[in-house]
Amino acid sequence: MTARGTVGVNGIDISYLQAGSGSPIVMLHGIGGNATQFQHQIDGLSDTWTVITWDAPGYGESGNPGDDWQMGDYATALAGMLDTLNLSQVYLLGQSWGGVLAQTFAGKYPQRVRALILSDTSMGGQSQPEADRLASLNARLSALESMTPAELAAARAPVLLGPNHTADVLREVEAVMAQIHPEGYRRAAIALAEADSRPYHSAIEAPTLILAGEHDRIVPPSTASALQAAIPGAQLVVFPGNGHMGGQEDPTTYNATIRTFLNQVEGR
Q: Is residue 47 predicted with pLDDT exceeding 80?
A: yes
Q: Is residue 74 predicted with pLDDT exceeding 80?
A: yes
Q: Give the H/E segment covering residue 83.
A: helix 71-84
pLDDT of residue 1: 86
Report which of 258, 200, 206, 207 is spatially closest to residue 230, judged by C-alpha positions. Answer: 200
Distance between CA 61 and CA 97 in Å, rounded? Answer: 18
pLDDT of residue 267: 86
Instruction: List 116's β-bridge partners, or say none.
Output: 92, 208
Our measurement of the distance from residue 98's CA atom to the centroid of its chain's CA atoms, rounded to an integer in Å, reads 3
Report which of 99, 58, 90, 50 is spatially closest to residue 77, judged by C-alpha positions. Answer: 58
pLDDT of residue 268: 76
pLDDT of residue 80: 98
pLDDT one-digit tens code per residue, 165-215: 999 999 999 999 999 999 999 999 999 999 999 999 999 989 999 999 999
pLDDT one-digit tens code per residue, 7-22: 999 999 999 999 999 9
Please, which residues have CB within 8 angstroms of residue 75's CB and are 6 or more apart in sequence? 101, 104, 105, 108, 109
